[in-house]
Amino acid sequence: MKKVSLEIYIDGASEGNPGKSGAGAIICEDGQVVKNISKYIGEATNNVAEYLALIFALQEALMRRASDVIVKTDSELLCNQINKNFKVKSNNLKIFFEQAQHLISGFDKFKIEHIPRTENKGADKLASKAIREQAKVIARH
C-alpha cells in the first residue's frame, strides 16, 4: 500500500477573544492542495479556534489514510503544547489537546512546526472566510 504523506497548514481566527470564530486548513499531498477546510465554530477564543483547525485537519488526514503528517501553524502556543514543551494550563484547551493527541496516535510519523504568519496566509483566509460566510447566513435570516 502506498504511503500517504500530507503537509497541512492550519489556522484559527477569532473576531474578539472570545468572539465569532472560524477554523481553516489546507491539506497538501505531493505539493498539491487536495482539500481546503473552512468551518465556522461559533463563539470561541483564538486558541480554541487553532485547536479545532488542528483537529479537523487531523480527522481529514486519517480519513485519507495518511501515514506521515507535517502540520504547519503560526500558533506558538498550540505548537509548543502539542510538542509537550508547554503545559496545557487552560481547562478549556485540555479536552482539545487530548483529542488532538489521540488523533496524532493514528499516524506513523507526525510533526508540528511553527511558521511565521506570512507563510500561513492561505489557512488564515479560510478561517476568516468561515466567519464572513456565517455573517452572510445570519444577515439573510
Residue 107 predicted with pLDDT over 80: yes
Pairing of strands 68-73, 109-114: parallel
Residue 104 predicted with pLDDT over 90: yes
Mean pLDDT of 83-93: 97
pLDDT digits 0-9 by tens, 27-41: 999 999 999 999 999
Please tell me the pTM assigned to this model: 0.96
Domain limits, the chain: 5-132
Mean pLDDT of 109-130: 98
The structural architecture, per CATH, of the domain 5-132 is 2-Layer Sandwich (3.30)
Query: Which pLDDT value is given to residue 11?
Result: 98
**Which residue carries 465569532 as its cell?**
20
CB atoms within 10 A of CB 136: 8
How would DSSP label each residue in 42-101? EEE-HHHHHHHHHHHHHHHHHHTT-SEEEEEES-HHHHHHHTTSS----HHHHHHHHHHH
